[in-house]
């Protein structure tokens, strides 16, 4: 996950919007696997804080790439669900 976040940021800096978007989408979909209920509350908070901004970056990339804004909102909802502990 950390590598995906770093790769997304590097691609974004180089204006490789589509590649960065593909990477960010995959990383956001992995968030529920990383932040699972078997972790302690403190560990879950640590995981969420390490990947703060990932969903916002993905949303920005959707807009930059001129891609589906509805899917951008879905990714934001997924990330919010992970933060709130609602996503499986």
Taking only the tens of pLDDT, the chain with its 88 residues reads 788 888 988 999 999 989 998 998 898 888 888 767 787 878 877 877 777 788 888 888 888 888 778 888 888 888 888 777 744 4
Q: Give the residue among 29, 34, 27, 28 at the shortest CA–CA distance from 3.
A: 27
- Sign for the CA dihedral angle at 54, 66, 63, 59 comes to negative
Total domain count, the chain: 1
- All residues at 6 or more sequence positions from 5 whose CB lies less than 8 Å from its CB, including other chains: 27, 51, 54
Domain that residue 50 falls in? 2-84
| Two structure tokens written together for 55 | 């969903």
- What pTM value is reported for the model? 0.76
């Amino acid at each position: 996950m950390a590598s995906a976040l770093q790769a997304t940021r590097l691609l974004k800096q180089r204006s490789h919007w589509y590649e960065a978007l593909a990477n960010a989408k995959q990383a956001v979909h992995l968030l529920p696997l990383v932040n699972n209920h078997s972790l302690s509350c403190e560990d879950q908070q640590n995981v969420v804080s390490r990947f703060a901004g990932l969903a916002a970056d993905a949303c920005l990339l959707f807009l930059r790439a001129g891609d589906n804004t509805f899917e951008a909102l879905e990714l934001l909802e997924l990330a919010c669900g992970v933060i709130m502990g609602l996503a499986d």
